[in-house]
Every structure is written in C-alpha cells, then in structure tokens.
Amino acid sequence: MLFSDNPTITFTTENNKSITIEYILTVSDKKSEYGITISLYENGNIQTKTVNSISTNKNEVTSLIKTFANNKVTPTTFLDIVYDYIANKYSIWLRNQHLRTTSLESQCL
C-alpha cells in the first residue's frame, strides 16, 4: 500500500458497519518531536487518541503510522501498542549501552 504521511482507511465490518480510521502525524510546537493521532469514525461517533513526542525522527514515526494503517490499529489498542514500542525501543538501547560498556571494560583489563 502507498500512504501519505496521514493515511485514511475505510473498511466494512462483518456486521456491514462502515469504519473510517485516520492516522495523523503530529508535530510539537518546537517542531522537533513527532507523535500520532488516531481517529476512528463509526455511525457518527468519533474516538480519538493522541500520543505526542514518540520520537524526534519523523521517518520513524511515519513508518509506525504506515504499520498501524496496514494493521488497522484503532484508538482502543493504540496506546498499548505505542507504549510497548517505546519500552522495547529503549530496552534495546539500554541493552546496547550495557554491551558497549561491558566491551570497553573487558578491553581495559
């Protein structure tokens, strides 16, 4: 699928309900931090969730948006998925920092 930075998908559920989901790239006032807003439209009702400051890397957040749209992520599960993504990202970063430190310590011995 090809997406803009702000894809919108529409699909029909098994109950023949039409659902539209918007995925919007957000930018902080400082223009250095990117986030995501997801809005779901169903039968005149709107559910919206936003997570600001996911990353300072626009391409990283844009890639997340594409993944969310491909998997039809809704506002209901969005927060858990983003929090898991951030926790995993920093867990890997911390592990790499530890490995780097351990490697340097062994070189000094």
Instruction: Examine residue 70 and state whether it is found in any structural domain, yes or no.
Output: yes
The band of 3, judged by pLDDT with boundaries at 50, 70 and 90, is very low
How many domains would you assign to the chain? 1
Contact 95, 102 (CB under 8 A): no
- Rounded mean pLDDT of 67-95? 87
* Predicted pLDDT of residue 73: 96
Domain that holds residue 99: 8-108
**pLDDT at 62 > cutoff 60:** yes
Instruction: Examine residue 63 and state whether it is found in any structural domain, yes or no.
Output: yes
CA distance 8 to 24: 9
Q: Which amino acid is at 36?
A: I
CA distance 102 to 78: 36
Instruction: Examine residue 2 and state whether it is found in any structural domain, yes or no.
Output: no
What does residue 92 show for φ and ψ, rounded to 5 degrees?
A: -65, -40
- Rounded mean pLDDT of 35-60? 94
Instruction: Examine residue 73 and state whether it is found in any structural domain, yes or no.
Output: yes
Instruction: Examine residue 58 and state whether it is found in any structural domain, yes or no.
Output: yes
What separation in angstroms does the CA of 10 have from each of 5, 7, 63? Answer: 16, 10, 20
* Predicted pLDDT of residue 1: 36
Instruction: Examine residue 3 and state whether it is found in any structural domain, yes or no.
Output: no
Instruction: Examine residue 59 and state whether it is found in any structural domain, yes or no.
Output: yes
pTM of the entire predicted model: 0.77
pLDDT top residue among 100 and 3: 100
Instruction: Examine residue 53 and state whether it is found in any structural domain, yes or no.
Output: yes
